[in-house]
Amino acid sequence: MQSLSPRARALGAAVLCLVIAVGAGLAVDSRLDRHWVLRGATAVLALCCAALLLSDQTRRLRQIVTLVGLAMFGLVIPLTQTNWSKPPEIQFALQVATDAKSAAEKAAARGVTVDQVKAAAEARGGAVGSLPTEKSPEVRGATAYPLIVRAKHDQGRPWACVSFTGLNAKVTAC
């Protein structure tokens, strides 16, 4: 059995990197900021490593560096970005967004109100708006979108921001 040519290996690696990059990007909840710039940069770096496979690979060290770069940029980084895309405060905000949307749909409303988001956050033990402190006594993000959603009533940071356009939510880190 004959081994694959360098061109076939490079093409296969490039296709695999693109499939993993797109699959990892789509695996993230659509209401989240998907970090497309960072995902695109890692996909480009993975494709560059795949292109290096096409070049003359006379030195063993160059082959090892190329394969490690391909593994890191084509597999490890896209998968870890997907796994780390939902820290606890983001998961809480997604749950609140789902509950608020359900409440708006039950009320046959065309959009989600700030009060529905507040009620959903409070029902889950959280709160809306920044926690007042000595440095910043004014509560921010409690009356208009984007709303600051906190997983615990007495929690400062970290928190997440939730905004709605009609019934479509967008959750981002703030």
pLDDT in tens for each of the 174 residues of the chain? 457 776 777 778 778 877 887 787 777 766 666 667 777 788 788 888 777 777 766 677 777 777 788 788 877 888 777 766 667 788 888 889 999 999 889 888 888 888 888 899 889 888 888 777 788 778 777 787 888 888 887 877 778 888 888 888 888 877
Q: Are residues 148 and 116 in the same domain?
A: yes
Q: Which domain covers residue 118, as residue numbers?
A: 88-173
Question: Looking at the domain assignment, is residue 1 inside a domain?
Answer: no
- Its pTM stands at 0.62
Residues 61 and 116 in one domain: no
Overall number of domains in the chain: 2
Same domain, yes or no: 79 and 139: no
Same domain, 120 and 154: yes
Do 16 and 63 fall within a single domain?
A: yes
From 51, 83, 115, the end of a domain falls on 83
| 103 contact partners, CB below 8 Å, separation of at least 6 | 112, 116, 119, 120
Q: Which of 83, 106, 140 is the last residue of a domain?
A: 83
Q: Are residues 77 and 119 in the same domain?
A: no
